[in-house]
Amino acid sequence: MKISDIERGVSVRTRVKVPIRPRAGKVRFEPEMVTFSGLCDNAEHLALVFGPSGAVPHVRVHSECLTGDVFGSARCDCGEQLNEAIMHFGACGGILLYLRQEGRGIGLYNKLEAYRLQIVNGLDTFAANRALNFPDDPRDFRVAAQMLQALGVREIALVTNNPDKAMQIAQHGIEVNRCLCTGVFANETNRSYLHAKVVHHQHSINLSGDYQ
């Protein structure tokens, strides 16, 4: 697919600097929050631009996780990954794309129902999705490529453990120069969740060490 085919009709809507403070620590950063018009799914996705990080910017594509990002759920590692990205980009520059794709795209209520199936029936995170008649991971990362192209970014170093995320973004016109793994944020509650991502979808997560 040509870049021009994706870009057509997509533009930056608003840029505004917003002081933010990661949930761990007292340091404060002031990224530029960027909104967009014409994205393929019409959702309110957000880019946080923390300043230059070289010719090939570091980029984290983070799917919204209310339970983890806001309430610190121990069932996933989303909140820790988000906090890590903010701390790193705040210090070194980079772009955080915050996508409104709760529950790997199935929504908040369905995600909590999937949690119930995991707890009550012993299903892993992907089997729970399938029990609710959803694919393992229905997310479409074309919108991330659109956002980057609207920002004038054509080549990135992608901060991710998910090979499918890198593949989809590359397929939609962004050159993924390299992938950088996130930290490993395992605990007694989320270890089976992380293990399922490694086994079923080849995420790059080293679970050989102790819990963090």
For 50, the token pair is: 């923390």
Closest CA to 171 of 43, 36, 2, 58: 2
Supply φ then ψ for residue 55, to 5 degrees: -65, -30
Let me know if 5 is a catalytic residue: no
Torsion, Cα of 41, 194, 163, 110 (10° steps)? -20
Catalytic residue among 60, 75, 139, 142: 139
Place of tokens 């761990």: 24
For the chain, the distance separating the N- and C-terminal CA atoms, rounded to the nearest angstrom, is 42
Burial 119-157 (b: 16+ CB within 10 A, else e): eeeebbbbbbbeeeebebbebebbbbbbbbbbbebeebb
Place of tokens 């799914």: 41
Catalytic residue among 60, 104, 137, 142: 137
Let me know if 60 is a catalytic residue: no
Supply φ then ψ for residue 181, to 5 degrees: -75, 150
- Cβ atoms within 10 Å, residue 209: 8
Residues catalogued as catalytic: 137, 139
